[in-house]
């Protein structure tokens, strides 16, 4: 028992140091124009967009985990297929080093479900948690009216 505790005392500081180092280096993702449509009246769903830049020198696998004020958030892709606009869930997107990947209307985007109107309000910031190569990073998305979104598309 004493030996185990001693071992833990030796190992834990290194583990915390490693975790801290990893967290410090997680800003491998920079998102500009991070924005979410204000949900339409009576609707609990909406979409989010932004330009995701991989600032690191390694390929980045991006997954979305959580969004405050929503029951669920997913990555989706809209695409034209057989003359129709089709939308499907994707688990992750990959961004090459130094490249920018845009979430934009009619293409890849974030889908938010089950909006809590007391949190998701126009002008407010919504923290969205991403998984980047296994490390978490939170990015704030601004809730905006659709008219402003159009200008930024």
Pairing mode, strands 29-37 and 135-144: parallel
For position 152 contacting other proteins by CB under 8 A, the verdict is: no
For position 150 contacting other proteins by CB under 8 A, the verdict is: yes
DSSP 107: S
Q: Among 17, 19, 43, 119, which residue interacts with other proteins (rule: CB under 8 A)?
A: 43
Q: Among 114, 119, 122, 138, which residue interacts with other proteins (rule: CB under 8 A)?
A: 114
CA 22-23-25 angle, 5° bins: 65
Instruction: Please report, as residue ranges, which positions from 4 to 33 form the binding site for other proteins (by CB under 8 A).
Output: none
Specify the residue for token string 């190569």.
Answer: 133
**48 and 141 Cβ atoms separated by less than 8 Å:** yes
Distance CA 70, CA 91 (A): 18
Q: Among 53, 60, 109, 128, which residue interacts with other proteins (rule: CB under 8 A)?
A: 109
For position 46 contacting other proteins by CB under 8 A, the verdict is: yes
For position 151 contacting other proteins by CB under 8 A, the verdict is: no
Q: How far is the CB of 45 from other proteins (least distance, A)?
A: 5
Site string for other proteins, 49-88 (x = CB under 8 A): ----------------------xx-x-x-x-xxxxxxxxx
For position 141 contacting other proteins by CB under 8 A, the verdict is: no
Distance CA 103, CA 130 (A): 14
Decide: residue 24, CB within 10 A, 0-12 exposed, 13-18 middle, 19+ buried. Answer: exposed
Cα 8 from chain centroid (whole Å): 34
Beta pairing partners, 107: none
Chain contacts with other proteins (rule: CB under 8 A):
37, 40-43, 45-47, 71-72, 74, 76, 78, 80-89, 105-106, 109, 111-114, 146-147, 150, 153
């Amino acid at each position: 028992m004493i030996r185990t505790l001693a071992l833990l005392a030796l190992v834990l500081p290194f583990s915390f140091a490693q975790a801290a180092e990893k967290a410090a280096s997680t800003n491998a993702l920079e998102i500009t124009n991070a924005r979410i449509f204000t949900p339409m009246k009576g609707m609990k769903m909406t979409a989010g967009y932004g330009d995701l830049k991989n600032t690191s020198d390694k390929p980045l696998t991006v997954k979305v985990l959580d969004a405050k004020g929503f029951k669920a958030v997913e990555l989706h892709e809209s695409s034209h297929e057989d003359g129709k606009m089709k939308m499907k869930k994707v688990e992750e997107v990959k961004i090459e080093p130094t490249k920018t990947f845009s979430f934009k209307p009619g293409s890849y985007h974030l889908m938010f479900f089950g909006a809590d109107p007391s949190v998701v309000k126009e002008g407010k910031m919504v923290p969205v948690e991403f998984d980047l190569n296994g490390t978490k990073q939170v990015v704030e998305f601004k809730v905006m009216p659709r008219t402003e979104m159009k200008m930024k598309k």
